[in-house]
């Protein structure tokens, strides 16, 4: 590896270790510094496996540079999916190498106590593991872009709450959050931690088990015999306040998100296959309105044909590079932590 190319990588690594020290910079200066750092004259010939350009599909520094050209000086709305949280240890449903999964549907959950026992037993194990997950560099990069005035809003399909923990404020949790629980009868909302405590007290034989965590925060368990449910004070069944498969996103939430899209000048999609309509509708609406769409995802998405630019990259690396390129933090470029 050439010395100049190694220097570029060292600068990126410095960025990943210095989220909270990033000051805001003008886009024009950011783009100039990025191009100087990654100019063809200072880099070795690109390896096709790491930097390719196929029409609108890119990976590597050139793909980031093209994305910067699209977002510089524009209001950016971000849309994120499960692929963003994989670097936090939470698997996704449709990413490369993801095993087949059959999540519980809304109709199945409300069918009776047998399905609810199965769900809550798996969720008891999964919640404990999910609660250990921390925001990864992709979450922090998006929060930094919000602080710099680049990302003006973020819509997430994820229910893990990691965007909020990373410091994102202009945020719509499209599918809700697993940290909240709702009664299906009286609609009273309660804390998942309290429900988890009650379930653990009643089911210590399950609470101590481990299992493979699923994207929505439950775990893969086979035997749930003898599991005891907890109920609302009114006697109603409790359900995580998230949108299950087969359940509709609340209309007012969709309208709120669409309002954000109508005010945006670029839609940035990160880590979503856009397989379900709840996410794809925003890409389709953006394309119809002539709003540029940038998609960052490993593997094909339902929205690829509508994308202005597609980056075949991991979300954490791509968003880190993008945040560096747009905001050009001098503290991250010049400061190497001990």
Non-local CB neighbours of 231 within 8 Å, separated by 6+ positions: 237, 238
Residue position matching structure tokens 């923990």:
165
User: What's the CA gap between 200 and 209, in Å, rounded?
Assistant: 11
196 flagged as catalytic: no
> What is the longest distance spanned by two Cα atoms in the chain?
70
**Burial class of residue 189 (count of CB atoms within 10 Å of its CB; 0-12, 13-18, 19+):** exposed
User: What's the CA gap between 321 and 62, in Å, rounded?
Assistant: 11
Termini Cα distance of the chain: 23
CB 86 within 8 A of CB 92: yes
Q: Mapping DSSP to helix (H, G, I), strand (E, B) and coil, where does residue 175 land? A: coil
Q: Which of 140, 163, 175, 196 is catalytic?
A: 175
C-alpha dist (Å) from residue 13 to 239, 261, 266:
41, 32, 27
User: What's the CA gap between 266 and 66, in Å, rounded?
Assistant: 13
Helices 61-71 + 27-38 axis angle, to 10? 170
Report the run of H or E that residue 207 belongs to, with start and end: helix 204-207
Residue 259 CB neighbours (<10 A): 12
Residue 246 CB neighbours (<10 A): 12
DSSP 99: P
Show which residues are catalytic: 175
């Amino acid at each position: 590896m050439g010395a100049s190319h190694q220097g570029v990588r060292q600068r990126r690594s410095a960025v990943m270790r210095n989220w909270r020290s990033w000051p805001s910079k003008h886009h024009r200066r950011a783009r100039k510094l990025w191009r100087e750092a990654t100019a063809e004259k200072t880099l070795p010939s690109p390896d096709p496996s790491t930097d390719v350009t196929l029409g609108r599909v890119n990976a590597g520094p050139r793909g980031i540079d093209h994305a910067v050209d699209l977002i510089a000086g524009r209001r950016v709305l971000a849309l994120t999916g499960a692929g963003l949280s994989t670097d936090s240890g939470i698997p996704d449903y449709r990413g490369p190498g993801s095993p087949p999964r059959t999540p519980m549907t809304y109709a199945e959950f409300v069918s009776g106590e047998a399905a609810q026992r199965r769900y809550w037993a798996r969720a008891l194990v999964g919640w404990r593991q999910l609660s250990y997950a921390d925001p990864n560099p992709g979450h922090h990069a998006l929060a930094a872009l919000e602080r710099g005035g680049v990302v003006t809003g973020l819509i997430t399909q994820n229910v893990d709450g990691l965007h909020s923990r990373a410091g994102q404020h202009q945020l719509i949790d499209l599918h809700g959050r697993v940290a909240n629980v709702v009664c299906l009868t009286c609609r009273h909302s309660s804390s998942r931690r309290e429900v988890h405590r009650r379930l653990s007290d009643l089911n210590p034989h399950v609470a101590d088990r481990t299992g493979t965590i699923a994207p929505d925060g439950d775990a893969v368990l086979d035997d749930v015999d003898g599991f005891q449910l907890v109920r609302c004070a009114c006697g109603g069944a409790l359900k995580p306040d998230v949108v299950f498969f087969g359940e509709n996103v609340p209309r007012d939430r969709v309208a709120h998100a669409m309002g954000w899209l109508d005010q945006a000048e670029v839609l940035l999609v990160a880590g979503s296959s856009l397989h379900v309509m709840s996410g794809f509708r925003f890409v389709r609406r953006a394309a119809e309105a002539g709003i540029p769409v940038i998609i960052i995802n490993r593997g094909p998405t339902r929205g690829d044909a509508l994308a202005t630019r597609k980056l075949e990259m991991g979300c954490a690396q791509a968003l880190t590079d993008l945040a560096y390129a747009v905001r050009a933090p001098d503290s991250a470029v010049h400061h190497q932590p001990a």
